Amino acid sequence: MSAVLSRLRSLRRRGERRRVSLHNALRLCRCPGRHHPFSLDRIRLHFCSFSPGGVGMFLIVAPLSVLYNWRDELDTWGYFRVTILHGNKKDNELIRVKQRKCEIALTTYETLRLCLDELNSLEWSAVIVDEAHRIKNPKARVTEVMKALKCNVRIGLTGTILQNNMKELWCVMDWKNKDKVLLFSFSTKLLDVLQQYCMASGLDYRRLDGSTKSEERIKIVKEFNSTQDVNICLVSTMAGGLGLNFVGANVVVLFDPTWNPANDLQAIDSLESLTVKNPKVQNHRQKMHVSMQ
């Protein structure tokens, strides 16, 4: 029976890698909820895409209240070897992780703090953080620990990324490897607010809207793609997506979606071609009454 299950698991992984190859242009997925089966299905695609030669090793950090729910969902939908680094058995399970006898390690924020050095000694294909809004305070210990965690690919899941102010939003975004952020907004008034925040925070930013001349647009795109000091580019949804090639972005935020989906789709069209050139691009869409995906 174990041989049959092993064979089925191998075939399933091969199928997932095939799905990834067919869906590279469709990475901008929006899931109904991060613990919904469809969400786990998409996460499984990400696992395969980050380890094209086979499933690598992934770390999921989550609150204790949902830790075992993650395990149950992954056991049901993921077909992965999962271990939990928490409680009295965490030392034994950590040995299994170091021996690469598991594919996904689940742990809590507190256990991560206690075992940070040991976890940093391992090579993770990606780190997924549930309730990423917990790292909104740049001076909090949990934020310091999360930023000290070594990993090339970081994915944050949250339904309330913006709670009090823009400083918190930037702290969460900044956790994604000092990401270069491309932020779309339909409201230029909101862009004014974001621009003031960038200026007050000393961020090197660029802005592109309907009043930006053609020559200046080309200059802005080139500076964003080639200048490491430029952290963020603020773009009007109505002005973006018109042949602009922001290949330097690795986080894209539709911060202020329009009531007409066609306007957002115009921007998304350019982003889908962007993900083909940079597969690690992450897309987030701010939903006023639901969540941020």
Strand order in the sheet with 232-236: 205-208, 232-236, 181-185, 251-256, 282-285
Residue 237 predicted with pLDDT over 60: yes
Contacts of 163 (CB under 8 A, 6+ apart): 133, 136
Pick the CATH number of 179-293 from 3.30.365.10, 3.40.50.1390, 3.40.50.261, 3.40.50.300: 3.40.50.300
How many residues appear in the chain? 293
CB-based burial of residue 254 (10 Å sphere; 0-12 exposed, 13-18 middle, 19+ buried)? buried
Residue 132 predicted with pLDDT over 90: no
Going by C-alpha positions, the residue among 124, 178, 186, 125 that lies closest to residue 147 is: 178
Q: Half-sphere exposure of residue 123, counting CA atoms within 13 Å on the CB side? A: 5
Range(s) of the chain covered by CATH 3.40.50.10810? 24-178
Residue 251 predicted with pLDDT over 80: no
Give, as one character, the DSSP assignment of residue 80: -
The reported pLDDT for the residue numbered 22 is: 42
Give the predicted TM-score (pTM) of the model.
0.58
φ, ψ (nearest 5 deg) of residue 158: -160, 150
Over residues 170-213, the pLDDT tens digits come to: 788 778 766 788 888 888 999 999 899 888 878 889 999 989 99
Q: Half-sphere exposure of residue 103, counting CA atoms within 13 Å on the CB side? A: 17
Residue 90 three-state SS? helix
- Cα 292 to Cα 50, 104, 176, 262: the distances in Å are 22, 24, 16, 19
Dist. CA 53–CA 205, nearest whole Å: 37
Architecture of the structural domain at 24-178:
3-Layer(aba) Sandwich (3.40)
